[in-house]
Structure 1
Amino acid sequence: MRKIAFTLMMLMTTLSLFAQNNDVEMADALRSNGKIYVVVAVIVLILVGLLAYLFALDKRLKMLEKKSSDKN
């Protein structure tokens, strides 16, 4: 019963998202000036940097786990 109630609640919240209009003046201005590509490039660069950091961190953690399991 809780799953059904949770699902219905989530569906009701997503319905309100469709009711919003698509007039975003800032996005239109950036698109018309061609600066939207700069914004997208910066966001992609930040995400790639975060992913690279997470993979490097995961690699270090695996190496430390391997060292600690070899000692035991």
Structure 2
Amino acid sequence: MITKEMIDRINFLYHKSKKDGLTEDEKLEQASLRKEYVKEIRNRVKEQLDNIEYVDEHECSDECCHHHNS
């Protein structure tokens, strides 16, 4: 789960890397946090895509509001 603390830490490490540089431990932490963040985003996108329902336009009823080319 992505938490505010996680995002804050990712941002802190990013800004520190640009200003002062990171220790080896901080670089490993940054890589781990980024990996976890990207994994969570991918899971969320996958969930959304899995919930998309395809509707065939040819299955519309006579009361359909769409205009189809016949």
- Normalising by the residue count of structure 2, what TM-score does the alignment of the two structures yield? 0.46
Q: Which has the higher contact order (CA 8 A, sep 6+)?
A: 2
